[in-house]
Amino acid sequence: MTKVAAQLSISHPGFSTRAWRLAHGRSLVLGPRGHLKGIVNVTPDSFSDGGRFDDLEAAVKAAEAMVAEGASIIDIGGESTRPGADPVDAETEQARVLPVIAALAQRTDAVISVDTYRAETARRAVEAGAHVINDVWGLQRDPDMARTAAALGAGLCIMHTGRDRQKAEDVVEDQYLFLGRSLELARDAGVPDDAIVLDPGFGFAKDADENIELMARFAELHALGYPLVAGTSRKRFIGAVSGRDMDRRDIATASTTAMLRLEGAAIFRVHDVAANRDALAMADAVVARRLEGTAR
């Protein structure tokens, strides 16, 4: 290994060992290897799997299958976030996700994440057994979310979105602006730094060019100082590049998993765990070899 390559591997923050603090006394080691977060949408209208898991037993079996295929985390959502989806009220969302979370908490040791921007849903989900709150509005939709996450001691995934606001022209600058505000809210509420991971929100009010630019400049996001999540799975921009329909985008998704792992992403939110597990294993093998070289 060249001196320059060794220095890059040593200094790359995406590969540094960090413990992600979660609810219920749990933690997850991030850095040396990537983790897969399997998506289970308990909804009738999500863009990829809507209607497939809107039955309790179907959702639980799907989650268990994902864990068997290599997912460390299962993300349970009760409201579709696709553009144009009909909103649901809190009671409907909770009726969908809470039974699944409670069942999974009894049947698997996987980390359970609840995909919600509502503080009350987050509270009830963590009480039911969830370890992580995944807020697609970056703590900026429900003013009680940051305080709730802090009080619960939950892991917190803060996502960037461009929806319902004026974005900065530069995609990375917009990440810094939006996520900077989210991090300010988290700190003011008392959320500890080691409970936070950041998601740049691929596909959320971003066109194909913006998503590709964000992938190309992904390493710049490490300046924010937190582990990074990549949620590219089956997104529209992958279809624009690959020419594939939504249900045939898993190979292209897996390629983004490998590429973004080499850029230091820590967690990958995916629909097809098996395909992405293989891609991640190859990327992790390269990362491990680089890190071994720095120790020689």
How far is it, in rounded angstroms, from Cα 261 to Cα 247?
23
- The neighbouring-strand residues paired with 30 are 18
CA distance 30 to 16: 8
Pick the catalytic residue from 96, 235, 249, 261.
235
Question: Contact 262/285 with Cβ under 8 angstroms?
Answer: no
Does residue 269 have an active-site annotation?
A: yes
Report in angstroms the alpha-carbon separations of 76 from 38, 137, 218, 224, 247: 9, 16, 26, 26, 20
Angstrom distance (rounded) from CA 38 to CA 30: 17
The verdict on whether 235 is a catalytic residue reads yes
Please state the φ and ψ torsions of residue 256, each to the nearest 5 degrees.
-70, -35
Which residues are registered as beta bridge partners of 114?
76, 133
- Residue 118 CA, distance from chain mean position: 17
The one catalytic residue among 118, 123, 236, 269: 269
Catalytic machinery residues: 235, 269
